[in-house]
Amino acid sequence: MINGIFKDTMANMKWTEIQNFVDKNALVLLPMGVIEEHGPQLCLGTDIYTAHIYCLAIKEKLEEKGHIVIIAPPFYWGVCQSTAGFIGSFHIRKETAKALISDILLSLSEFGFNNIFGVNAHGDIEHNIAIIEAFREAREQLHINACYAFDEGRIPLFGLKLEEPYLCPIKPQTIKVSKAEVSDVHGGDVETAMIYEFYPNLVDVEKAKSLPPITLDDESVEEWLFGGHIKDLSSQGYIGSPADFESVEVRKNVDDYADIISEAIISRMV
Ligand SMILES: [Zn+2]
C-alpha cells in the first residue's frame, strides 16, 4: 500500500529540503496523468496513481546508480480525449494543460533545477501533444534539460524522430505480465491490478470480476483514439479485461517499467 500521490514528493517537503536537492543538482521526476473515468470498478485517479508509483520505483533505480532524485508534485489536470463526455473525465483544454505544464517547468527551473523528466501514464493524443510542446518550449526558452519520457513506438506517429532532445524514448516492454487474452487499452486488467496492489480500497473487486472483456477492432481503434465514441465502444467505460486483474504480475510490471524508463533517462542526462 502507498499513502497517497504526495508520498516522497516535494508536496510533503519543506522548502529548505528542496533547496538541498537544488544544491546537489538533483534530477527531477514529474509524475503526469489525468482525472478520468476508468470503468465501474476503478477510481478516477488511476493514471496519476500509476505515474506516481512508477516514479517511486524509477527514483529507487536511479539512486542505486548514484543519482540524486526528487519527485515533483504530481500533475493531474491533463486532457481526457478518448473518454471525453463520460462522467468523471474532466474536460481540460489542451491549451490549459500545456500552459500549466509550462508554468510547472518554469517554476522548477526558477528553483534552480536543470534536469527535469516527465513520466506520464495517460495515452491520449492531445494530452501527449500538450506535454511534448511544453517540454520542447521549456528546453528552448529556459535552457534546461527538460525531457519527456515517451513511448518509442508512438514518437513517429506524432511526426517526430527519436533524436529530439526534449524527448526521452522509452523502449517497449518485452516481458509478459498478464495472462489476459484481451489487452488493456483502458481500465483493463493491468490498470485494475496496479491500483488493487497499491490502493486496494479504490477497486470494486466484485464488480471487476463480473465485467466481460471488451476489445477494439482496427476500425474502432481510431474512433477510440480521437474520442467522442466511448459510450458506443464500451457503455461502462473500460476496454480490456478487468476480470483478469488477479493474473497480472504487478511488481514485475513496475520493476520492468522502472528499469526501462530509468535507462532511458540516464541516456538523456547532461
Ligand atoms: Zn488509465
Q: Which residue in the block uniquely carries the three cell numbers 491520449? A: 124
CA of 112 to the centre of ligand 1 (A): 32
Half-sphere exposure of residue 92: CA atoms within 13 angstroms, side-chain side: 24
CA of 200 to the centre of ligand 1 (A): 16
* Beta bridge partners of residue 71, listed in sequence order: 9, 29
Angle between helices 46-64 and 250-267 (to 10 degrees): 60
CA of 14 to the centre of ligand 1 (A): 31
The structural domains of the chain, with segments of one domain joined by +, span: 10-176+250-267
DSSP H or E segment with residue 29: strand 27-32
The DSSP 8-state label assigned to residue 162 in this structure reads S
CA nearest to 147, candidates 28, 25, 6: 28
CA of 81 to the centre of ligand 1 (A): 12
DSSP string over 210-234? HPPPB---HHHHHHHHH-S-HHHH-
CB burial readout 190-225, b (16+ within 10 A) else e: bbbbbbbbbbeebbbeebbeebebbbbeeeeeebbb
- Parallel, antiparallel, or unpaired: how do β-strands 145-151 and 27-32 relate? unpaired
CA of 217 to the centre of ligand 1 (A): 20
Q: What is the pLDDT at residue 125?
A: 95
* Beta bridge partners of residue 203, listed in sequence order: 42
CA of 57 to the centre of ligand 1 (A): 18
Say how far apart CA 267 and CA 270 lie, in whole Å: 9
CA of 160 to the centre of ligand 1 (A): 24
CA of 238 to the centre of ligand 1 (A): 9
CA of 17 to the centre of ligand 1 (A): 32
Is the pTM here over 0.95, yes or no?
yes
CA of 114 to the centre of ligand 1 (A): 29
CA of 42 to the centre of ligand 1 (A): 10
Tally Cβ neighbours within 10 Å of residue 164: 18
Domain 10-176+250-267 classification at class level:
alpha beta
DSSP string over 51-116? HHHHHHHHHHHHHHTT--EEEPPPB------TTTTSTT-----HHHHHHHHHHHHHHHHHHT--EE
Residue type for 39, please? G
CA of 38 to the centre of ligand 1 (A): 6
- Mapped onto helix, strand or coil, the DSSP state of residue 185 is coil
CA of 239 to the centre of ligand 1 (A): 10
- Parallel, antiparallel, or unpaired: how do β-strands 115-120 and 145-151 relate? parallel
Q: What is the pLDDT at residue 134?
A: 98
Instruction: Give, for all 270 residues of the chain, the pLDDT tens digit.
Output: 899 999 999 999 999 999 999 999 999 999 999 999 999 999 999 999 999 999 999 999 999 999 999 999 999 999 999 999 999 999 999 999 999 999 999 999 999 999 999 999 999 999 999 999 999 999 999 999 999 999 999 998 899 998 999 999 999 999 999 988 899 999 999 999 999 999 999 999 999 999 999 998 888 888 888 988 889 899 999 999 999 999 999 999 999 999 999 999 999 987
Say how far apart CA 10 and CA 190 lie, in whole Å: 28
